[in-house]
Amino acid sequence: MSAMIRINNVSKWYGEFQVLTECTTQVAKGEVVVVCGPSGSGKSTLIKCVNALEAFQKGEIIVDGTSVGDAKTDLPKLRSRVGMVFQHFELFPHLSITDNLAIAQVKVLGRSQDEATEKGLKLLNRVGLKAHAHKYPGQLSGGQQQRVAIARALSMDPIAMLFDEPTSALDPEMINEVLDVMTELAQEGMTMMCVTHEMGFARRVANRVIFMDRGQIIEDCGKEEFFGSPRSERAVQFLSKILQH
Amino acid sequence: MPGGRLECGHARAYLEDSMNYHWNWNVFFQPTGIGKEIYLDWFVTGFGWTVAVALVAWVIALAIGSVLGVMRTLPDSKATSFASAYVALFRNVPLLVQLFVWYFLVPDWLPESAQTWFKQDLSPTTSAYISVVVCLALFTAARVCEQVRTGIQALPKGQSHAALAMGFSRVQIYRHVLLPQAFRIIIPPLTTEFLAIFKNSSVASLIGLMELLAQTKQTAEFTANIFEAFTLATVIYFVLNMSLMKLMGRVEDRLRVPGLMGGK
Ligand SMILES: Nc1ncnc2c1ncn2[C@@H]1O[C@H](COP(=O)(O)OP(=O)(O)O)[C@@H](O)[C@H]1O
Ligand SMILES: [Mg+2]
């Protein structure tokens, strides 16, 4: 399988503080990789480096053959091809759901308003929210907003999707409706890199699990191995803490 | 021009004598002795100048202030320091001093031909009008800048991240994501600035532009009905400000987003 996302020896510093230390991993086309680890271990930073929302000082990241750190790379174009879903949804509150879904298609991809709206509604239907098209983000629940955010990312026909703790800001009863959408997406063959502590989702859906601690990738293995016999002491501790819940 | 400054002693005499003050509201309908004008016409003309100064200065202030406000939020430190220096300069020098600089000093720094144009070709009224509009626009722009900056910085950082992640350019992020939200937040403080520019436009009377306050003073001098003149001016300013507040309230309602603070 060819690597859709290739991360080679990436290191990053905030001033003196090293957030990422020689991270190396790959995500193959159609693969679902779950990234977990304690808070502050650099998970968000790592996935933000993938679509250049954060810059890194050493190493390289190649997305679908394009080097992210290369000064000549058209970053807006690269970003428009990689979908991203955030912990706090980040829908645009002043735009209706329909416009949230259409605006980037129109302004970035140059699609016509009609085409963009139609595509947005199709995706909205897919995440089960067609009836809410005319509403504004502030009128939806957190779970609904996050499903819209996923639909919005999909409207750009991404080659891969990045998720940064998509369910951590949700009330427990809303977590599953979002995970269901993500599971469906994975089954359709979307390439996904998900930062999440939902170990049930990882067990069901992930191909591989990456465990990070203090800016380093400590484990990077198949999910059976990760849940069955993690090699590092830190991963064992992390798992025992998180699985107690 | 007829009439000078109302003598202080003269005015005090009226005040001390106010028990016997002879109110005469008909004064506004009396002829001024110039053409067929009545005194009310002076107020109408003055009101027109006040609105012409304030509205034009406001449009310019809004445009320049928005650009400066955006500059203050850019990662580029040169843009940020330029905008900060602008704000420091225009907020810390009194408005009147700024007006005298624009009216008396700046024209002398212009190239020869522009000087002749400004000082000789233009009527005194036009050159005073230009000076006042430039002065109020640049003064108010500094204040608008600070409001716009505050509005943008009040937005969650994730908003620009989300827009960047979808491939928006910097310009598109400001145009479609940040500014529409920031302006909604800052409508109340902007309303205050909008009202202030109408009130501040009265400085124009000091360089001879016959706006509302200048016409009021002139009427008071000509007729000696000082209380009637200033009462009418007060009522006009008051009604004007109330209407502007109503108007801005309408704008705020129109732009209100459903599901957000105050929205349905
Ligand atoms: N802008 C920043 N400046 C300085 N330090 C930062 C910045 N952003 C994140 N960090 C630090 O980098 C580390 C990793 O952060 P993050 O990637 O958000 O961790 P995680 O997502 O795993 O919780 C944390 O210690 C955090 O405090
Ligand atoms: Mg994080």
Closest residue on chain B to A139 (Cα): B259
**Count of H helices and E strands in chain A?**
9, 10
- Beta strands of A110-176 (E only): which ranges? 160-164
pLDDT attached to residue B1: 40
Mean pLDDT of A199-225: 95
Q: Does B170 touch chain A (CB under 8 A)?
A: no
The CA-atom distances, in angstroms, between A133 and each of A85, A104, A105, B98 are: 19, 16, 16, 52
pLDDT at B35: 87
- The 10s digit of each residue's pLDDT in A162-196 is 999 999 999 999 999 999 999 999 999 999 999 99
User: Which of A16, A19, A53 should be mutated for ligand 1, with most atoms under 8 A from CB?
Assistant: A19
Check residue B142 and give its pLDDT.
98
**Domain residues of chain B, as ranges?**
39-255
Q: What range defines the domain where residue A47 resides?
A: 3-242
Asked if A103 has any chain B CB less than 8 Å from its own CB, the reply is: yes
**Residues A24-83: tens digit of each pLDDT:** 999 999 999 999 999 999 999 999 999 999 999 999 999 999 999 999 999 999 999 999
Check if B154 contacts A (Cβ < 8 Å): no
Strands (E) across B14-81 are located at: none
pLDDT at A81: 96
Mutate to test the pocket of ligand 1, among A11, A12, A13, A14 (most ligand atoms within 8 A of CB): A14
User: Which residues in chain B are closer than 8 Å to A48, comparing Cβ atoms?
Assistant: 161
Distance CA B100, CA B103 (A): 5
pLDDT of residue B3: 42
Helices B39-71 and B77-92: angle between axes, nearest 10 degrees: 150
Quote the CA–CA distance of B36 and B240 in Å, as a whole number: 27
Residue A241's Cβ-count burial label (10 Å; 0-12, 13-18, 19+) is exposed
Number of domains in chain A: 1
Facing residue for B164 by CB, picked from A53, A103, A135:
A53
In chain A, the percentage of residues whose pLDDT exceeds 90 is 93
**Helices A172-187 and A142-154: angle between axes, nearest 10 degrees:** 20
Averaged pLDDT in 10-residue chunks for chain B of 264 residues: 47 60 89 91 96 98 97 94 97 96 94 91 94 98 98 96 96 97 96 96 94 94 92 96 96 90 54
In the CATH hierarchy, which top-level class contains the domain B39-255? mainly alpha
- A86 close contact with B: CB closer than 8 A: yes
Report the pLDDT averaged over residues A227-245. 86
What CATH number should be reported for the domain holding residue A58?
A: 3.40.50.300
Q: Which ipTM value was assigned to this complex? A: 0.94
Is there a contact between A79 and B257 if contact means CB atoms under 8 Å apart? no
Asked if A90 and B156 come within 8 Å (Cβ–Cβ), the reply is yes
